[in-house]
Chains A and B, each alone.
Chain A
Amino acid sequence: MIANLGLYWQRLRAGDLGVLPVVVLLAIVWLVFQALNPAFLSSDNLVNLTQQSAVLGVIALGVVVTLHVGQLDLSVGAVSGLAAAVTAVTSVQWGWSQWLAVLAALAVGVVVGLVYGAVHTRLGVPGVVFTLAGLLLVTGLQLRVLGPTGSVNVPFETWLVYLSQRAFLAPAVSWTVVGVVVVGYAAARLVERARRQRADLPVDAPGTLAVRLVVLASLLTLVVAYLGTNRGVGVAFASFVALVAMTDFALRRTRWGRAVRAVGGDADAARKAGVPVRRVFVSAFVFSSTMAALGGVLATGRLAAANQGTGAVDLALTAIAAAVIGGTSLFGGRGSAWSALLGVLIVQSISTGVLLIGGDFSLRLIVTGLVFAVAISLDAIARRARQA
């Protein structure tokens, strides 16, 4: 435990803030809104909040990965809008099966990402510049696909609408997932610990593992039990969290993830070390656009419609804000997939909280902007601490 604290201190001094400040920020936001309106932390509101987080969260997850390679994709909102339009138009007006419509929408995301990746690796233009062009172009395509009416309704009884709006995990399923996750985590940790002992490497004290397990188990239990007093854990939210966990695993435990972080830290160093830097950039842009498209698909389900307002510019900006507020650095190479979850919870808490206390859209933008500014400042200060 003490050795762990020492390591955390070293990382802190090296300008690596970790997840702690973000959790503190989320707690502050919740306490403030709870003090202003006691309905804020009600299970009903939290169920709404989690369900509303899925769309923005999936998009923010893509942003996290592009930020990891030190790039910024400003067109994620537009891509989600185009994907929503494709989903709705192909399934409703062209009569495609909804599965096929969803696959087509995701394919649009893949193609956009491939184009971005090619532009970046061949011409060396920073993502923040050419995704602006992409934003205009993709928004134009979205309007063209939607056609003159500018809005397409998706039948309420389709599976997509059901899954994104009304599907909740049965309590038995929720608790099984909690059990599997906790036991699986414990088993993975113990196996790793045994391997480290056999290799004569330092291991955490048994107490540390126990503390982690207790924290994980109580957190999951609290969430499932409290949301369970209302409608429970939404399928959309649960899928988003699962996606975050998988992305986190890929970033930390696979060669791809390591390459992504190395390229964001120092692309030239990574190239000299033998990392296929171009492929890594392309994969990051493809991931981000595909996640944006998935967000658009989910948005179509949530709204049971796609229209010209789906994926407006503020969606991309909010998704980027969420990723940074959640603790992923704007300067590349630092962060975590979990910052998509934490950041989106903070941003979404602000928008529902502002609504609950009778504020309007303007107040919501102002508060989100302020929190974003604070997050950027912290990020910049941490970066300066690293370079000092």
Chain B
Amino acid sequence: MSPPVLSLRGVVKGYGAARALDGVDLDLHRHEVLAVIGDSGAGKSTLVGVISGNQRPDAGEVIVDGKPVTLASPAVARAHGVASVFQDLALAPNLDVVENLFLGAELTRGRLLDEVAMERQAWELLGQLAVRVPSVRVPVGALSGAQRQGVAIARSLLGDPKVIVLDEPTSSLGIRQTAEFLTLVERLRERGHGVVVTSHSLVDVHAVADRIVVLRLGRVNGQFDAALATQEELLAAVTGVDSPGSGGGRWGGSR
């Protein structure tokens, strides 16, 4: 297998006395969808924060393409080829689709914005991902949740990142939209990106992931091949119960 495009080694991140991440190791390859699952408070959001540059780890290394990097901000992470789609999508509702897509990375001619080139690329990008919007000049605040998410994912693809992080992408989507989203993730894998997805939903990650990492209390509590892992095994790892099956009720309760 090719060397990992993104690795975490011994990453620790604490808030006061509590440790949200306690020595996490992780590898991600190109053409791979890695799902990170875990109960509330297991450390998923903190992990996403560290990878996306939104939070700085207290200890440990983040390695991109074999080189240790310091992801001081989302912009720096992006410059290193790690793009993120945050759970809140991080779109400005008053800006239109084109403006949001290129926010912070606008194309210019001389000192002025090159609206023509940006609009052209926006259509191409949205077309590749089969994201449908009524117009690319409509404020993002007027779009549906699924359309907004499409825009946020399309934005993460600009600059052709090596790694795309999707934080709880299906939490605000309906059933059909979720199905469309899963197809979209497969397109990302085909394009050669390494994809990290966090989710509460075992069904969704099972459908799309190649590998599943289970976080529990800030530690990696098991890695699974998605094609082979059973729901029971995953549940057991999520809840920390050894015997498969006995945790099923608790999982259902926590959803």
Q: A7-B135, A199-B120, A201-B116 are in contact. Are A14 and B74 (CB under 8 A)?
A: no
Task: Return chain A residues, CB-CB under 8 Å to B89.
Answer: 269
**Would B134 and A254 count as touching, CB distance under 8 A?**
no
Q: A266-B91, A266-B92, A274-B74 are in contact. Are A14 and B113 (CB under 8 A)?
A: no
Could you give, for residues 320-335 of chain A, a 1 whenever the CB lies within 8 Å of some chain B CB and a 0 otherwise?
0000000000000110
Task: Return chain A residues, CB-CB under 8 Å to B106.
Answer: 255, 258
Could you give, for residues 134-145 of chain B, a 1 whenever the CB lies within 8 Å of some chain A CB and a 0 otherwise?
110111011000
Minimum CB–CB distance for B72 against chain A, Å:
12
Complex CA gap A275/B139 in Å reads 19
**Would B142 and A262 count as touching, CB distance under 8 A?**
no
**Would A386 and B74 count as touching, CB distance under 8 A?**
no
Could you give, for residues 120-150 of chain A, a 1 whenever the CB lies within 8 Å of some chain B CB and a 0 otherwise?
0000000000000000000000000000000
> Which residues 30-76 of B sit at the A interface, judged by CB distance below 8 A?
54, 73-75
> Which residues 330-346 of A sit at the B interface, judged by CB distance below 8 A?
333-334
Report the contact-size class of chain B (Cβ under 8 Å from the partner): 35 or more
Which one of B11-19, B93-101, B190-198, B223-231 is at the A interface? Answer: B93-101
**Would A7 and B116 count as touching, CB distance under 8 A?**
no
Could you give, for residues 163-207 of chain A, a 1 whenever the CB lies within 8 Å of some chain B CB and a 0 otherwise?
000000000000000000000000000001001100111000000
Q: A16-B139, A265-B94 are in contact. Are A274 and B104 (CB under 8 A)?
A: yes
Minimum CB–CB distance for B157 against chain A, Å:
14
Complex CA gap A333/B139 in Å reads 12
- Residue of A with least CB distance to B104: A274
Task: Return chain A residues, CB-CB under 8 Å to B84.
Answer: 272
Complex CA gap A86/B78 in Å reads 47
Could you give, for residues 265-290 of chain A, a 1 whenever the CB lies within 8 Å of some chain B CB and a 0 otherwise?
11011111111000000000000000
- Residue of A with least CB distance to B53: A272
Task: Return chain B residues, CB-CB under 8 Å to A255.
Answer: 106, 108, 113
Complex CA gap A265/B90 in Å reads 11
Tell whether A10 is near chain B: CB-to-CB under 8 Å.
Answer: yes
Complex CA gap A262/B93 in Å reads 9
Q: A196-B116, A273-B155 are in contact. Are A258 and B94 (CB under 8 A)?
A: no
> Which residues 213-269 of A sit at the B interface, judged by CB distance below 8 A?
253-255, 258-259, 261-262, 264-266, 268-269
- Residue of A with least CB distance to B111: A254
Task: Return chain B residues, CB-CB under 8 Å to A384.
Answer: none
Complex CA gap A270/B139 in Å reads 15
**Would A275 and B104 count as touching, CB distance under 8 A?**
yes
Return the contact of A274 from the options B78, B92, B100 (Cβ within 8 A).
Answer: B78
Q: A261-B92, A272-B74 are in contact. Are A253 and B113 (CB under 8 A)?
A: yes
**Would A261 and B104 count as touching, CB distance under 8 A?**
no
Tell whether B119 is near chain A: CB-to-CB under 8 Å.
Answer: yes
Task: Return chain B residues, CB-CB under 8 Å to A259.
Answer: 104
Tell whether B207 is near chain A: CB-to-CB under 8 Å.
Answer: no
Tell whether A13 is near chain B: CB-to-CB under 8 Å.
Answer: yes
Q: A269-B91, A272-B74 are in contact. Are A201 and B119 (CB under 8 A)?
A: yes
**Would B135 and A10 count as touching, CB distance under 8 A?**
yes
Complex CA gap A168/B120 in Å reads 46
Tell whether A212 is near chain B: CB-to-CB under 8 Å.
Answer: no
Tell whether B1 is near chain A: CB-to-CB under 8 Å.
Answer: no
**Would B92 and A200 count as touching, CB distance under 8 A?**
no
Tell whether B86 is near chain A: CB-to-CB under 8 Å.
Answer: yes
> Which residues 111-147 of B sit at the A interface, judged by CB distance below 8 A?
111-113, 115-117, 119-120, 123, 134-135, 137-139, 141-142
Complex CA gap A262/B89 in Å reads 14
Tell whether B179 is near chain A: CB-to-CB under 8 Å.
Answer: no
Task: Return chain B residues, CB-CB under 8 Å to A272.
Answer: 54, 74, 84, 86, 90
**Would A273 and B93 count as touching, CB distance under 8 A?**
no
Task: Return chain A residues, CB-CB under 8 Å to B113.
Answer: 253-255, 258
**Would A262 and B138 count as touching, CB distance under 8 A?**
no
Complex CA gap A16/B138 in Å reads 11
**A–B pairs, 25, beta carbons within 8 Å:** A10-B135, A13-B142, A14-B138, A15-B141, A196-B116, A196-B119, A199-B117, A199-B119, A199-B120, A201-B116, A254-B113, A258-B99, A259-B104, A261-B92, A261-B99, A265-B94, A266-B90, A266-B91, A268-B88, A269-B88, A272-B54, A273-B103, A273-B104, A334-B94, A386-B93
New A-B contacts (7) at CB < 8 Å, excluding given A10-B135, A258-B99: A11-B142, A259-B104, A265-B94, A266-B90, A266-B93, A270-B92, A275-B104
Please give me the 5 A-B residue pairs with the lowest Cβ-Cβ distance, nearest first.
Answer: A274-B104, A274-B75, A265-B92, A14-B142, A265-B94
